Amino acid sequence: MEPLRLAICDDLPEEREALLALLEQAPIATVCAQFASSEELLEAFRPGGFDLLLMDIYMDGMTGVEAVRKIREMDETIPIAFTTTSTEHTLESYRLSVLKYLEKPVRQKDINDLLHLVKLQRDSAPRLTIRQGGETQKIPLSELFYLEQKAHHVFLYRRDGGTLQLYGKLSDLLPQLEGQPFFCPHKSYCVNLAFVRGINEEYQSYDMVDGKKVPISRSNRTKAKRAYEDFLFARTRGAR
C-alpha cells in the first residue's frame, strides 16, 4: 500500500522537525512536505494532493484556522489535524470538520492513532472499479471530480489534476455510483457534488472547485439544483 501523503505547516522549524521525528517512528509509512506559513501551503495546495494536513494554529501572518477555512472552500474532505498549545479553537475545529486536535508537545501515540485513522478511512472509502490496460483498478470516489463521455471513451477527472481515459460508456459505470453523492446534470457528465462550488445560472452549469464548468442540460435544471441543495442540506446535518 502506498504511503500516506502528508503536509506539515508550522512556522517554527523545530516544531516541524519534532513532527517529522514522530512520523519516522510511526508504524505507517508517510511522505511529507513541509510549509513554513499558511500562505506557502495555500499556494501549493491542490485538492487530492495530500492525504492529511498537520496544521499549526498560531503562526506569523495568516493563522492556521484562517488557512483551513480557505482549504475547505477547495476541498471538503481532506483530513486535517490541528497541532497547537491551546484548546481555544476547539469549537471552530468542529465547524471546519477537523479530524483531530493535537496538543503540543505531540505524543507518539497521538501520531500513531491519527495515522491509523486516516489510513483506515482511505482504505475503506467507496471505490469505482474500472478496467484499464488489461488491469483492474479501484479508484476512491472521493478522488473523482467528475466523469465525462466523449465519443466512445469515458474520461475520469481526478482531484490531483490527473485524467484517466477508458474505452466504454458512462452509463456502464453509473450503477457503481448509486447511493453516493454523484449526479448526472447532462447525459455526458456525472459530477461529485462534494466538489461543486455552486450553480452558475448564467452558463447553466455546475461550477467545480477547480474552476471547470460542467454543463446542465435544459431538462435537468430543476433536478440539478435540487440534487445540489439536498447534498448541502445533508452535509450540514451531518456536521452537527
Is it the case that residue 171 has pLDDT exceeding 80? Answer: yes
pLDDT tens column, 64-104:
999 999 998 888 789 999 998 877 766 666 677 888 989 99
Are 54 and 84 a contacting pair, CB within 8 Å?
no
Beta strand 182-186 pairing with 213-215: unpaired
**What's the confidence (pLDDT) of residue 7?**
98
Mean pLDDT (whole number) for 150-156: 96
Is it the case that residue 240 has pLDDT exceeding 70? Answer: no
- Cis, bond preceding 79 (omega within 30 deg of 0): no
Other CB atoms within 10 A of residue 181 CB: 19
pLDDT tens column, 176-213:
999 999 999 999 999 999 999 999 988 899 999 888 99
Q: Could you tell me the domains of the chain?
A: 4-123 (3.40.50.2300), 127-238 (2.40.50.1020)
pLDDT band, very low/low/confident/very high, at 135 (cuts 50, 70, 90): confident
**What's the confidence (pLDDT) of residue 1?**
63
pLDDT band, very low/low/confident/very high, at 238 (cuts 50, 70, 90): low
What pTM was estimated for this model as a whole? 0.69
8: left (phi over 0), alpha (psi -120 to 50) or beta: beta
pLDDT tens column, 38-47:
999 999 998 7
